[in-house]
Amino acid sequence: MYTRELTAAKKYALKAGKAIMEIYNTASDMQVEYKDGDMPLTVADKEANQIIVMGLKKEFPNHSVLSEEEKDNPCRLENDYCFIVDPLDGTKEFIKRNDQFTVNIALSYKHCPVMGVIYVPVTGDLYYAQKNYGAYVRSADGAERRLRVSENRDISSLKMVISASHECEEIKKLIDKYKIKNFVKVGSSLKGCMIASGVADVYYRYNPTMEWDTAAMQCITEEAGAVFYQMDNTPMYYNRKDSINRKGFYILNHKANFLTLE
């Protein structure tokens, strides 16, 4: 149903990823600025944003666009279709040069994520999904496979992914309460990709995030069979007036692995 949008999202994610890697591999100065306090912004964020947003607007002039690096247009709230873009998810990881950053492009229809693309520039892996059509990954060599979450329902052996740059006390308490021994710190939307691929089982995020951090990841993980809800067990909606995900969220390979601090 969203084949045109998916094709375009893949194309611009790849183009943005190429521009990002040219900077990553050659620039000695990433021209880091700071916005909203400690949030870094690099020349790669800007270049990737221009490639994606200009391309999407040209191909889909009747769709609205919400991007991390673009001035928000409130008119988007009147549009059923909205692209939600994070041109460089994991800017802190990009600056650290630890390879854990992605390009995220999603489409929301009537506030629900119906298409998602996550591109990993360093590896060339392209994750994508359409609502009701499954989730897939295409590797750099062109091989393609369908994604499915793991079947692990044993809490004692769960593999948990946690944020590399946004630690919080709640996660530490959760790990202690359930004696989680198998956990790994990962940057950007790679955490969702790991769950969709069956490499990890659960991801809990108590800190606030933004719509562009989660939209593509939600579509891909849900289409791979995951459970995705806000921390109060309500659905996550998009193209909202307030783009901050204030309630946190969790992604589970199975509802049996729901963990709570209560």
pLDDT in tens, 52-94: 999 999 999 999 999 999 999 999 999 999 999 999 999 999 9
pLDDT of residue 255: 96
Mean pLDDT of the chain: 95
**Amino acid (one-letter) located at 207:** N
pLDDT interval class at 33 (50, 70, 90): confident
> Which residue ranges form the domains of the chain, and what is each CATH number?
3-146 (3.30.540.10), 155-257 (3.40.190.80)
pLDDT surpassing 70 at residue 169? yes
Residue 49 has pLDDT above 90, yes or no: yes
Q: How confident is the model at residue 40, as a pLDDT?
A: 85
pLDDT for 34 equals: 85
- Going by pLDDT thresholds of 50, 70 and 90, the confidence category of residue 186 is very high
Is 43 a residue whose pLDDT tops 80? yes
- Percentage above 70 pLDDT, the chain: 98
Mean pLDDT to the nearest integer, 149-173: 91
Q: Counting every residue, how long is the chain?
A: 262
Q: Give yes or no for a contact between 47 and 26, defined as CB atoms under 8 angstroms apart.
A: no
Q: What is the pLDDT of residue 37?
A: 65
Would you place residue 191 in the very low, low, confident or very high pLDDT band (cuts 50, 70, 90)? very high
Question: Which residues fall within 8 angstroms of residue 244, CB to CB, at 6 or more apart?
Answer: 208, 209, 210
